[in-house]
Structure 1
Amino acid sequence: MLGHPVRIRVLELLQEGPKPVRELLTALEMEPSSLSQQLAVLRRSGIVVSARDGSTVVYSLAGADVADLLRAARRILTELLAGQQGLLAELRQAEEGARVM
């Protein structure tokens, strides 16, 4: 369910608070039908909820646990990327040292 970048981005936007679909469309710059499909996946999984306000549909996170999950995932990915950057720097230094010899 969280394997699609649009769904992750939607959840990140909803961490700021409930958003009408038109705001999500503007932020994501995508076709309404594509966003609708991704929102349906999130809604069916119970991660987001929707409510009508007149003709406007507003989405929000289903609970605080979702925001906690996103924060934990972001922390883990940040640590992984930092480790990969360190390894890349070491490899580049080794490559430069090999060229000098």
Structure 2
Amino acid sequence: MPELYKTKAEFFRMLGHPIRIRVLELLQDGPTPVRDLLAALDIEPSSLSQQLAVLRRSGIVTATRQGSTVMYALAGGDVADLLRAARRILTELLSDQGVLLAELRATSEQAGHGP
């Protein structure tokens, strides 16, 4: 198998965790301090730290320190485009599954993004 396909598969595996997906959605609104991510996710700080480390290592998010606050941001706009495309694809695929579609729409509205 060509290395390109292995690299692409690794990229999608990196995205394959619900907390990481939610963090990326939250970061679409701009740089966000860790305390705000923790409040939005309602998870243990150690769990968030672990997931942020995976995203940082992949290069998909950046971290900067502002005083005692660590701010996280998307490394580029392409990630937001990918998340919007995934949302559109899922909306279409789930159109027959009302409960999941309602949940998808609700999380999109909470994040301040359209379907």
TM-score of the aligned structures, taking structure 1 as reference length: 0.81
Which residue of 97, 100, 106 maps to 1:85?
97
1:64-97 C-alpha deviation (Å, 9 max, x unpaired): 0010010001111111001x338xxxxxxxxxxx
Q: Which residue of 1 aligns with 2:76?
A: 63
SS of the aligned residue for 1:58 comes to: strand
User: Over residues 24-79 of structure 1, what are the superposed CA-to-partner deviations in whole Å (9 max), with x where a residue is unaligned?
Assistant: 00000000000000000000001100000011100000000010010001111111
Ranges of 4+ aligned residues in structure 1 off by more than 3 Å: none
Q: What percentage of aligned pairs have identical amino acids?
A: 81
Query: Counterpart of 1:49 in 2: which secondary structure?
Result: strand
CA distance in 2, matches of 1:85, 1:51: 41
CA RMSD of aligned residues (A): 1.1
Residue 79 of structure 1 aligns to which amino acid in structure 2?
E
Q: Distance in 1 between matches of 2:64 and 2:91?
A: 33
Can you give the 5+ residue segments of structure 2 that lack an aligned partner in the other structure? 1-13, 99-115
Distance 1:41 1:59 in 2: 13
Unaligned 5+ runs, structure 1: 87-101
Work out the number of aligned pairs and report it: 85
For residue 58 of structure 2, the aligned residue among 23, 36, 45 is 45
| Residue 14 (structure 1) aligned with residue 27 (structure 2) | yes
Structure number with larger C-alpha Rg? 1
